[in-house]
Structure 1
Amino acid sequence: MTHALAPATLTDLDALGHHGPTALVITITPHLATELLKRNTRNRSLRDRAVGDYARDMTAGNWVINGEAIKLATNGDVLDGQHRLHAIVKANLSTDMFVVIGLDPETQETMDSGRKRSTGDALSLRSEENALSLAAITRRVWAWQQGDRRFKGRYTPTTAEVLTLLAKHPEIRRSTEIAARTRSSFPHIPQSVVGTAHFLFNAIDPGECAWFFQRLADGAELPLGHPILALRTRVTSERRDGDRMAEDRYLSYLVRTWNAVRDGRELARLTHKPGSDIPTPK
């Protein structure tokens, strides 16, 4: 049985909950979310990242009713949905939610047992080519734009934020295609880093960017001392030695090489101290 109730109060929910499992779409105000959280007595540890992700989507207007429900027990306890409720409080916005009330408290043991759909899955459903790589590259472009140049920030973008950024910058698809093509010829730099660098460099000079990644892939006719030759030699040697390199190190190498090419400088050797800043492409 499905009801629509907006706005709702605890009294309304408790009254309906006595009739067994009931589904509703209601507007949950920050006040109601706060009251419901007082009944959040038996749940998993709160994950601040998830709360922040949801709150950003709500603030940006990206929150949609997708069938995932706040679940309440017959006694009113919150069985599932604490992160969404905390996000409503954090965003301080009334939000429409699908709610199921009147559940047996023991059903909590079977909740959230399925595999979470990833951003890559969402892009696959949209028939995007190279969906997993596209998701990875778009996430890193998002991080760069947030000032996280090392991809180690506290927050990662939500699926809605990835889709919004991709709609704003459809050229990320081309960067993903170039990354896949480059990696098929020169597999020593992660595809996600190659695609992110391509997006950044292409925004500066599309023509030189195209030449840069073609030479990165094939190494053709590069004289001794050329920055791209130094890059290819460096990462090939490190991969051969079995070194495990962080993504920010690869990105630093790419940016330093790009800047040297743009300046017309030779580059005999590439270095990057762990934890140091990533230079700005120019």
Structure 2
Amino acid sequence: MDFQKKVIRRRDGATSAISAILSEGVAIEKSPAGFSLPADLRTPAAKQDLDGVEFGLEVITPEQAKQYLIHNVRNRKFKAAVVAEYVRSMKCNQWCFTGEALIFDEEDVLLNGQHRLMAIMKAGVELPFLVVRGVSKAAFLYMDIGSRRNGKDALNIHDPSAPDCTQPVLNKLSSIRSGSGRTGGSLVVQDVIDVYDAEEKALKASAAFVGKLKRSPTKISNTNECIPLHMEFSRSAGAAAANDFFTKVLTGAGIQENTWEKHLRDRLVSSVGEKADSKRYMNDLRKRVALVSVWNKIRSDAPVTRLKLPIAVPEIL
């Protein structure tokens, strides 16, 4: 193997040298940004526009760390235990340079490294770090350093106006449509984004309507369970029909005796506060079965009789 010295220009104009291990005889292409990669290693994923990306070694001071954290608008809440562990290592001179980078986007907003920066500030030490700047904001979704980014993190970047309930609602929507018989799900990050883009208008409308209903009692049904059902009922018969159904069932407003809605509401109310070993107890999946079953009976004009629920969630009419 041949070792070639690569000179990396730092943000302050200084330079530092790092060793690049390159296969002997491999042709090297250089992008306009100066980034080099062996030609035979250039995959489609590597053919991204890296213009504007800068990287190099920088000594981070407590004051710099503070300023970076002030503009830390995309990361999540700090984990105190992680920061405390880092602080101890830094103060005891046991912190090891690993090459793990602090990463900033095109606007110099921190994408990765918040716990290390907080530790530097608290420990009052100066430490060298590899720093990468100019990385696309979208890269935040794919970073798997420390705590893994989840669908909620992705949505916060993709659309800050997305309702807080979006990820669990989309997971439940996926399970409803797949007929999996589960009340939850685990859409991967990109699927969360794709489904959200397709369902944004319907999701926001259903979340707004269901969220403002004054449920009585409050635990009659899980809001995040009702929202995807409201979306599907609206898709099937229109928002007005879905609104009327959930208003009657969840609040009791406008409900009449000897109707499917009244039978359903009585069943749901009787389950509130019951323990799992009680015959009246209904978990979220059982409540989904009840809601869909009664909705279907209403849509098919079935004559009102005693409410008997099937085992599995029926297909929505």
The bucket for the TM-score relative to the shorter chain is 0.5 to 0.7
2:306 counterpart letter in structure 1: A
Matched, 1:192 2:192: no
| Aligned: 1:217 with 2:226 | no
- Give 1:222 shift: 2.3
Q: Give how far 1:259 is off.
A: 1.1
Q: Which of the numbers 268, 278, 281 marks the counterpart of 2:306? A: 268
Q: 1:13 to 1:217 in 2, by over 3 A?
A: farther
Aligned match of 2:294 in 257, 260, 281? 257
Contact 1:143/1:149, CA 8 A, preserved across alignment = yes
Q: For each residue in 1:163-222, what CA deviation from the matched residue of structure 2 results, as whole angstroms up to 9, or x when unmatched? A: 111111221221222232236555321112101111111111113112112212321232
Structure (1 or 2) with the greater helix fraction: 1
**Partners of 1:144 and 1:203 in 2: CA distance:** 13
Quote the offset at 1:223 in angstroms.
2.5
Aligned to 2:161: 128
| Structure 1: distance between partners of 2:214 and 2:172 | 17
- Structure 1 residues 234 and 240, CA, compared in 2 at 3 Å: closer, same or farther? same
Aligned equivalent of 1:202:
234
The match for 1:237 is 270
Residue deviations 1:50-80, cap 9 Å, x none? xxxxxxxxxxxxxxxxx88xxxxxxxxxxxx
Residue type of the partner of 2:243?
A
Counterparts of residues 14-163 of structure 1 (less than 5 Å): 27=42, 112=145, 114-125=146-157, 126-131=159-164, 133-151=165-183, 156-163=186-193
CA distance in 1, matches of 2:160, 2:194: 17
Secondary structure at 1:169 match in 2: helix
**For 1:60-116, what per-residue CA distance to the aligned partner results, in whole angstroms no more than 9, with x for missing partners?**
xxxxxxx88xxxxxxxxxxxxxxxxxxxxxxxxxxx9xxxxxxxxxxxxxx95x333
How far off its partner does 1:28 sit? 5.8
Report deviation, 1:236. Answer: 1.5
Hey, what's the Cα distance between the residues in 2 that align with 1:229 and 1:166?
Answer: 34
Runs of 5+ consecutive residues of structure 1 not aligned to the other structure = 3-10, 15-22, 30-66, 69-95, 97-110
Change (3 A) 1:123 1:161: same
Separation in 1, partners of 2:181, 2:260: 22
Question: Do the aligned partners of 1:182 and 1:217 also contact (CA within 8 Å) in 2?
Answer: yes
Q: Could you say if the C-alpha distance between residues 185 and 237 of structure 1 is closer, same or farther in structure 2, counting changes exceeding 3 Å?
A: closer
Cα shift at 1:233: 1.3
For the Cα contact (< 8 Å) 1:150–1:247, is it kept in 2? no
Cα 1:177–1:267 change in 2 (3 A) is farther
Larger radius of gyration, structure 1 or 2?
2
CA separation in 1, counterparts of 2:23 and 2:258?
A: 72
Residue aligning to 1:280: 315
More strand by percentage: 2
Separation of aligned partners in 2, 1:221 and 1:271? 24
Aligned sequence identity (%): 16
Counterpart code for 2:191: E
What is the identity, as a one-letter code, of the residue corresponding to 1:231? L
Question: Of 188, 191, 194, which aligns to 1:164?
Answer: 194
Structure 2: runs of 5+ lacking an equivalent: 1-6, 9-20, 25-34, 45-110, 113-138
**1-structure distance, mates of 2:253, 2:175:** 33
8 A contact 2:181–2:313 mirrored in 1? yes
Provide the rounded CA distance (Å) in 2 between the counterparts of 1:184 and 1:218.
Answer: 5
- TM-score of the superposition, structure 2-length normalised? 0.49
For CA contacts below 8 A with separation 6 or more, give which structure has more relative contact order. Answer: 1
Kept in 2: contact 1:230–1:270 (CA 8 A): no
TM-score when normalising by structure 1: 0.54
Task: Please tell me whether the aligned partners of residues 182 and 216 of structure 1 are also in contact (alpha carbons under 8 angstroms).
Answer: no
